[in-house]
Amino acid sequence: MERKKLPVGVSDFKKLIRENYYYVDKTGFIEEILEKRAEVTLICRPRRFGKTLNMSTLKYFLTRENASENIELFRGLNIEKSKYIAEAGKYPVIFLTLKGLDGDNYPEFLRKFKRLLSKLFKEHKHLKEFLDEDDLMNFEKIISRKDDGDYDIALQFLSELYEEYVGIKPVLLIDEYDSPMIVAHEKGYYEETKDLMGSFYGSALKDAPISFAVVTGILRVAKESIFSSLNNLKVSTLLTNNYNHFGMTESEVEEILKYYNLETTMESAKSWYNGYTFGDEKVYNPWSILNHCENGELISYWVNTSANTLIMKLLKEADEDIKDTFYELLNGGSARTILDDNMIFGEKYSDSTILYLMFSAGYLTIDRPGEEEDQYYLRIPNLEVKKYFRKTFISILTPKSKDSFSKLKEALVIGKIRGNDSVEEKINGFFMASMSYLDGARQEKFYHNLILGMMIGLDDKFYIHSNREEGLGRYDLALEPRDKSGFGYIFEFKVATSSSESDFHIAGEEALAQIDKKIYETGLRERGIEKIIKIGMVFSGKELKFYTK
């Protein structure tokens, strides 16, 4: 049997159906939009979870253009059984996706923005034959990208033309509305972009004659001119239990894996690509599932597709508290935070704002509700995201040396504790890079999390155990080699009372004595590890010293 093609990177519904790509039926999205029929619906979901495809599906269903041809695309799909099938082909549709609209500076962004609107107006050039002289001139200015074109009210203008000359208010579909703001914030021209896009969206969604509008993005942008004056806005975020037609459900994943003879990977696919909570539903990352079906490998596919440049920037600038949280998440823990369903650009970012951004972008998911209103415990959803964050963490710690981490791994495998390219040298290098901007005394927990974060990327060679009960107590950190003939490590952390050599030495000897007295090596030896290196790590401010036996 010849199987259908996999729609990796295909977000145009007509192409997907006509060219016989595999399609997971999400036409329930159309039914819910028409049933609720809010004046303006804003739907916030991570990128690559099917927003553009769903919006394209909605466009082909509603548009008057080629209506009889388009209705054939929906034969056999769920929407055909709905009473809302009667709505097919009834509206002019203005569809605009801002995915990929970027620029290194504002003039470059503006040039691309004009080009995007020129293309949009060309798609509606059939209106030209009805326009009077003034409207035709303004229409042509946007198509020709003239400097005096009314780009800030372009969607309002196009909607008004449909109402005046066709007699029907159009449906407005705006996909990835926040993409320009995220890029502008990263590149440093956010204020100019905010003013332009605020007028662009505000005029279209508040003042334009439209039947209704659907807007998608990652974030709900708050306290901005973009949506500040809208009182007709219905918002659906990851916390709301509606419009759950994004991502793949368990049964949909089982079906596609079976179709491509990959059902044996179901459990592994769950640990790699599942774990997201949209409202009350657990969903898989569809981009990763499609790529997995295409090549059969369980590897990372989705990373580098969301707002990760901004996340990287925020993590690099974050204080030690959020870094502590980051280390805890990488170690399988959770972070408690208040999820404020808004993103405020241009202000100093609190820890909760950073966690909200990571949650909205799909890098964190809800583990469980917290004890207070709007409070949640967040965790990393799956292996795919964990591996991305592990690499991110390493790049933050080692900005000047790409191979330092691999050399640390090599040194640990061969048991080279001191000297050139040794464990001591590499960890000290990471430590100094991480501490260069920090001042003042630190608690042991801070140093513990810092070193633990450095070790997260070693799990292909070692099992990493933190704060584990062994022998007569609880050690700070242990590395258990996956190859039982290799070197195992037990680390005990101490903070010296001062930076004097004698205080360092006293703390180092105390750390090593504690390892022996508490018999921390018991568990490793019981599991067949014979070569065990004991290390006392002593900290004081920005200094770190090693003590071994």
- pLDDT tens-place string over residues 482-496: 999 999 999 999 999
User: Is residue 430 a part of any domain in this protein?
Assistant: no
- Give the pLDDT confidence score for residue 154 in this predicted structure: 97
Domain count, the chain: 4
- Give the pLDDT confidence score for residue 263 in this predicted structure: 85
Q: Which residues of 2-21 are buried (b: 16+ CB within 10 A; e: fewer)?
A: eeeebbeebbbbeebbeeeb
Q: What pLDDT, in 10s, does the model give residues 417-456? A: 988 888 988 888 877 766 654 444 467 777 887 787 777 7
| Residue 76 dihedral angles phi and psi, to the nearest 5° | 85, -5
Q: With contact defined as beta carbons under 8 Å apart, do 156 and 165 qualify? A: no
Among 111-120, 144-153, 341-350, where is mean pLDDT lowest?
341-350
- Give the pLDDT confidence score for residue 14 in this predicted structure: 97
Task: Work out the mean pLDDT of the chain and round it to a whole number.
Answer: 88
- Give the pLDDT confidence score for residue 408 in this predicted structure: 87
Q: pTM here?
A: 0.80
| Residue 543 dihedral angles phi and psi, to the nearest 5° | -105, 145
Statement to judge: residues 70 and 207 lie in one domain: yes
Statement to judge: residues 110 and 232 lie in one domain: yes
Domain boundary among 385, 413, 447: 385
- Give the pLDDT confidence score for residue 439 in this predicted structure: 44
| 346: containing domain | 308-385
For residues 206 and 209, what is the distance between their CA atoms, to the nearest angstrom?
9
- Give the pLDDT confidence score for residue 25 in this predicted structure: 97
CATH number at residue 85: 3.40.50
Domain boundary among 351, 385, 419: 385
The yes-or-no verdict on residue 298 having pLDDT over 60 is yes
Statement to judge: residues 510 and 461 lie in one domain: yes
Mean pLDDT on 466-477: 90
Q: Which residue has the higher pLDDT, 267 or 393?
A: 267
Q: How far apart, in Å, are the Cα atoms of 75 and each of 14, 65, 108?
A: 12, 18, 43
Statement to judge: residues 191 and 45 lie in one domain: yes
Statement to judge: residues 276 and 140 lie in one domain: no
- Give the pLDDT confidence score for residue 438 in this predicted structure: 47
For residues 477 and 489, what is the distance between their CA atoms, to the nearest angstrom?
8
Statement to judge: residues 138 and 263 lie in one domain: no
pLDDT band for position 100 (cuts 50, 70, 90): confident
Mean pLDDT on 103-113: 95
Angle at 499 between CA 498 and CA 503, to 5 degrees: 65
The yes-or-no verdict on residue 94 having pLDDT over 80 is yes
